[in-house]
Structure 1
Amino acid sequence: MNKNTDKKAAIPAGYWQDAKGALIPEKMIRPIDRARDDLVRELVTKAQELSALLADYKRSSFADIAAFIQLSAEQYKANIGGKKGNVTLYSFDGKYKVVRAISETISFDERLQAAKSLIDTCLRDWTASASDELKAIVKSAFDADKQGNISTGRVLALRRLDIKDERWQQAMAAIGEAIQVIGSKSYIRVYERIGDTDQYRPIPLDLAAVSL
């Protein structure tokens, strides 16, 4: 039987197609190569089925959680719009919890350069009074990694510094306006409580995290 039934139909009967696209007579294929092909295809099929189950679980879980949130809001005659926001739900006995987490990926547009210019001006004028620690924090915030990306976390951390200088405040406003949401990822995390403690351990949905 030709094991390459998932390849293009143009492959003639009695031949297999190798990784380079060459047609190999079936009678020339060694038993160990047939066995390896059988094993790989069996594992791939199971993985595809498992992936489809996880995708269905994720879709239905998000829909069920959204429906429950709306149901809960209706009890208080409140209207909750949108799908954003992290939510944690507990079972009645507290043994289990389910977390819906939505993480946004942000970047900055060209206004970040205006903010940096204002901050540089502040630092030059503060040379005598600015601490070395503050200078280091500000400098590291705009250091790019090997891919040329600036850490959004370090830049946003500047906004937590309590500095009253008007130029600094303008720079912080520019940083806020420069923020661009370029994508988001959504997660469902499921946990079970460890014995009688208040600690929870995740129920792994990642193949690499499942214990054997």
Structure 2
Amino acid sequence: MKTTQHTDKVIPEGYWVDPKGRLVPESTIKDIDKERDQLVKEIVGLAVALNTQLTQFKARSFADIQAFIDLSGEKYGTNVGGAKGNVTLYSYDGRFKIQRAMQDRIAFDERLQAAKQLIDACLMDWTEGARPEVHAIISQAFSTDKEGEINPARVLALRRYEFNDPRWTSAMNAISDALQVIGSKSYIRVYERVGDTDQYKPIPLDISAA
């Protein structure tokens, strides 16, 4: 009896398990299927190892950058950047730069619906005088993606517009109050300068961009 690498089931010698969990005699499995299985598992093994290395790289990089920021801050008796600040570090010759970026994930609570109702009321009254572009911008701001989610950036962009209508002001206040930070993502981005220019190109850490 033996246990395969990717299952907790005890599998009899000379058998493989198919996608439905059924035991299949190894002698009935085609050579091409065995070779495909071997190739997939080899690549998956490499991918798992790389994923582990990237996870360790990110953790170490964040820790080292924060330690450097703390050290720099100590020299001036201040807190530079902080644990959540975005920071860019350059090599001495300017050839490389590293960015530590923190991005909050935001969403809106139920008060966004109140803002939408106020805005709809404004649009109803402004139909005669408002430019079509205004209607298009506002309608697009509340459109949803395939997952039914609203793009927060489009909604927040509405606050740039100033209209002399108390309902619009109330709607913008409702949007601000509805805004909630639901989490954050952290990134490490590494760049190399392009020749002697002031432009930098990213060193891809994403397999799809490599």
TM range (shorter): 0.7 to 0.9
Give the structure 2 partner of residue 118 of structure 1: 118
Residue 174 of structure 1 aligns with an amino acid whose one-letter code is A
Deviation string, structure 1 residues 86-143 (Cα, Å, up to 9, x no partner): 2211111110011112222211111112212222333344445433322322232223
Are 1:2 and 1:26, in contact at CA under 8 Å, matched by a contact in 2? no
Compute the displacement of 1:196 (Å).
0.8
Give the structure 2 partner of residue 92 of structure 1: 92
Q: Distance in 1 between matches of 2:118 and 2:28?
A: 72
Is 1:109 aligned to 2:105, yes or no?
no
Q: Distance in 2 between matches of 1:66 and 1:91?
A: 16
Is 1:23 aligned to 2:23, yes or no?
yes
Percent of paired sites with the same residue = 58
Compute the displacement of 1:9 (Å).
4.4
Residues 16 and 173 of structure 1: CA distance in aligned 2, closer, same or farther (over 3 Å): same
Q: Distance in 2 between matches of 1:190 and 1:41?
A: 30
Matches within 5 A, 1:3-82: 4-79=4-79
Unaligned runs of 5+ in 2: none
Q: Distance in 2 between matches of 1:186 and 1:133?
A: 36
Are 2:2 and 2:10, in contact at CA under 8 Å, matched by a contact in 1? no
Residues 77 and 137 of structure 1: CA distance in aligned 2, closer, same or farther (over 3 Å): same
Is 1:183 aligned to 2:183, yes or no?
yes
Residues 164 and 68 of structure 1: CA distance in aligned 2, closer, same or farther (over 3 Å): farther
Give the structure 2 partner of residue 173 of structure 1: 173
Residues 53 and 133 of structure 1: CA distance in aligned 2, closer, same or farther (over 3 Å): same
**Partner SS for 1:208:** coil
**Partner SS for 2:10:** coil
Is 1:144 aligned to 2:144, yes or no?
yes
**Partner SS for 1:88:** strand
Matches within 5 A, 1:184-203: 184-203=184-203
Residues 35 and 143 of structure 1: CA distance in aligned 2, closer, same or farther (over 3 Å): closer
Residues 2 and 30 of structure 1: CA distance in aligned 2, closer, same or farther (over 3 Å): farther
Compute the displacement of 1:41 (Å).
1.6
Are 1:2 and 1:16, in contact at CA under 8 Å, matched by a contact in 2? no
17-26 vs 126-135, which moves further: 126-135
TM-score for both structures, normalised by structure 1: 0.87
92-101 vs 126-135, which moves further: 126-135
**Partner SS for 1:207:** coil
**Partner SS for 2:205:** coil
Compute the displacement of 1:67 (Å).
1.6
Compute the displacement of 1:39 (Å).
1.9
Residues 128 and 2 of structure 1: CA distance in aligned 2, closer, same or farther (over 3 Å): same
Q: Number of paired residues?
A: 210
Residues 18 and 148 of structure 1: CA distance in aligned 2, closer, same or farther (over 3 Å): closer
Q: Distance in 2 between matches of 1:146 and 1:30?
A: 41
Compute the displacement of 1:187 (Å).
1.3
Q: Distance in 2 between matches of 1:172 and 1:196?
A: 46
